[in-house]
Amino acid sequence: MSALLEGLFNGISIGSVLLLAALGLAIVFGLMGVINLAHGELMMLGAYSTFVVQNVFKGFGSPFFDTYVLFALPIAFLVSGLAGLLLERGVIRFLYGRPLETLLATWGVSLILQQFVRSVNGLLVISLIVFCLLFFGAMKVLSRRLDWERIRSLAIGITLPLSLAIAGLLGYLLSFNSVLAKPWFSARNVDVTAPAWLRGGLPLPGFQMPYTRIFIIILTALCLLGTYWFLNKSSWGLRIRAVTQNRQMSACLGIPTNQVDALTFALGSGLAGVAGCAISFLGSVGPNVGQNYIVDTFMVVVVGGVGNLLGTIIAAMAIGVANYLIGSGTFALIFGSVEALKPLTDFFTFFSTTSMAKVMIFALIIAFLQFKPAGIFPPKGRTAEL
């Protein structure tokens, strides 16, 4: 019984991590229909933001270090949300209604973000800031001309390479400074140290409930409640649901659909940053940390039903619990106590590794989608027609 209870708790904690990671994806993919393969890298940005905040608070001493999580969570949300906003404004907005191009574009962005984390340093940041000031500043000034539409292509063709050349030249001139040229993170993994109040666990008969996983479960519940309140009780949530149901009618009623798209994408990306902050306490943080969760989060959204928060919750918990109970050998241990169930014990023993458990979960999901291809709670009404 203690093994079963421990397995259920660990499975729920894994399901909470998946739910927290899938919550932002459920908004972006479910409500907007955008297949964002860079969602894992947005989680990575949240994890690295937590690492940076931790290092800053280390210099303040022990009492202040234990509070860094309270600052890391909103900062991770803002960093990933801003990155998602830039992604939507710079790439996604031109690809709505074209899922294949969106998939390829976001995949390219995910590779860029991974390489950016590996090679980012002071030189790169300065060069990017100079380029943005020159290019976007020039676009802002030139857009005030009356003949802007006529000269737009020519202006971009001149200012873009000129801004790149100036930023590149500045970066080359500063490259002799060893301090600026030193990578901030490099390709190595970094570790995030949990504060004192998240270390240890709650002792129970037969096992212990780690405080870190309890914190992630509570954080997931708070994010879920906040997302539900925002989408169902706030004015912008009402606008998001209106645009999701009928974009043309919403635009006719005066709802700024472009702003709604940007806000929705920023919200989903910010939640990915919070998920990145949470997973940073479970293991090392590296450029590929988001890739460990992207497939599972898509499975959660698809199985739960596109755009349905309740279905996302049920799917995340079911996948998390099943994954742990099978992969940890808990099922094999339980059934092994009964001699008549030896064939079943041998079956679960064969799948009692992390990789083989994922294979079995994939097979179960494929079988489930044969009967319920739209997920547990399929879309209804106009949403089903999109």
Q: Clarify whether residues 45 and 135 are in a common domain.
A: no
In a shared domain, residues 162 and 292: no
Chain segment 102-140, per-residue pLDDT in tens: 888 888 889 888 888 888 888 888 888 888 888 888 888
Cα 72 from Cα 66, distance rounded (Å) = 11
User: Which has the closest alpha carbon to 123: 52, 186, 182?
Assistant: 182
Residues 306 and 368 grouped into a single domain: yes
Please give the single-letter amino acid code of residue 163: S
Quick one: 318 and 218 in the same domain?
yes
Give CA–CA dist 351/359, Å, rounded: 8
pTM: 0.84
Residue 201: strand, helix, or coil: strand
| 362 and 231 in a common domain | yes
Q: Are residues 306 and 175 in the same domain?
A: no
Residue 30 lies in a domain: yes
Residue 28 within a domain: yes
| Shared domain check, 207 and 173 | no
Q: What is the CATH number of the domain that holds 20?
A: 1.10.3470
User: How do the pLDDT tens digits run along the chain, 386 residues long?
Assistant: 666 777 777 778 888 888 888 888 877 776 677 788 888 889 999 999 999 899 888 877 777 788 888 899 999 999 999 998 988 888 888 887 787 888 888 888 898 888 888 888 888 888 888 888 888 888 888 888 777 778 888 888 888 889 889 988 888 888 787 777 788 887 788 888 888 888 877 777 767 788 888 888 899 889 889 888 888 888 888 888 888 777 788 888 888 888 888 888 888 889 889 988 888 888 788 888 888 888 888 888 888 876 677 888 888 888 888 887 777 766 666 665 666 666 666 666 766 676 777 788 888 888 888 888 777 776 654 444 44
* Number of domains into which the chain is organized: 2
Residue 384 lies in a domain: no
Residues 242, 348 within the same domain: yes
CA distance 3 to 16: 20
| Same-domain pairing of 243 and 311 | yes
- Per DSSP, the three-state class of 190 is strand
Query: Is the same domain home to 314 and 362?
Result: yes
Q: Which domain holds residue 171?
A: 120-181
Taking only the tens place, the pLDDT of each residue in 186-240 is 778 888 888 888 887 777 776 778 888 888 889 988 988 988 888 888 888 888 8
* Residue 80 included in any domain: yes
Q: Could you tell me if residue 307 is inside a domain?
A: yes
